[in-house]
């Protein structure tokens, strides 16, 4: 008996983007999410947990939305600097992790991983 989330409950295919890391002239890490990044296709459940207008900027001629999402996956290797690319019902979206991923365990071991996401495009 598997302790992971059944595949039928993970209907979304997303791309996990692991950035390539280099060092700039000052010794700081630089993260590249473009061609040099590693992309892995994984199964997941994505859901929007919160959507609200950001107060105080509507008078500047824009109406940004603060969106928080949750991703549940059986993939054990999701890291804090990873991004997630997904084409949902409204089109292509890119998310960044919002805090560290949270592995969920049972007495048998790792069951699944929950990842808070913040939308950055879409």
Report the CATH number of the 7-121 domain.
2.40.10
Block residue for tokens 């949270």: 102
Q: Compute the residue count for the chain.
A: 122
- The token pair at 76 is 């054990």
d(CA 84, CA 17): 6
d(CA 12, CA 8): 10
pTM: 0.83
| 73, 42 contact by CB (below 8 A) | yes
Q: What pLDDT is attached to residue 1? A: 42
Segments making up each domain of the chain, as ranges: 7-121
Q: For 6, list phi and psi in degrees, rounded to 5.
A: -60, 140
How do residues 17-63 score in pLDDT, each as one tens digit?
Answer: 999 999 999 999 999 999 999 999 999 999 998 766 555 555 555 55
């Amino acid at each position: 008996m598997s302790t992971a989330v059944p595949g039928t409950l993970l209907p979304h295919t997303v791309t996990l983007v692991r950035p390539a890391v280099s060092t700039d002239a000052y010794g700081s890490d630089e993260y590249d999410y473009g061609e040099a990044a590693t992309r892995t296709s994984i199964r997941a459940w994505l859901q929007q947990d919160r959507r609200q207008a950001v107060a105080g900027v509507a008078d500047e001629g824009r109406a940004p939305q603060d969106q928080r999402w949750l991703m549940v996956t059986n993939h054990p290797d999701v890291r804090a600097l990873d991004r997630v690319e997904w084409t949902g019902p409204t089109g292509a979206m890119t998310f960044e992790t919002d805090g560290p991923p949270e592995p969920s365990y049972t007495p048998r071991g790792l069951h699944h991983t929950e990842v808070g996401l913040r939308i950055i495009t879409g």
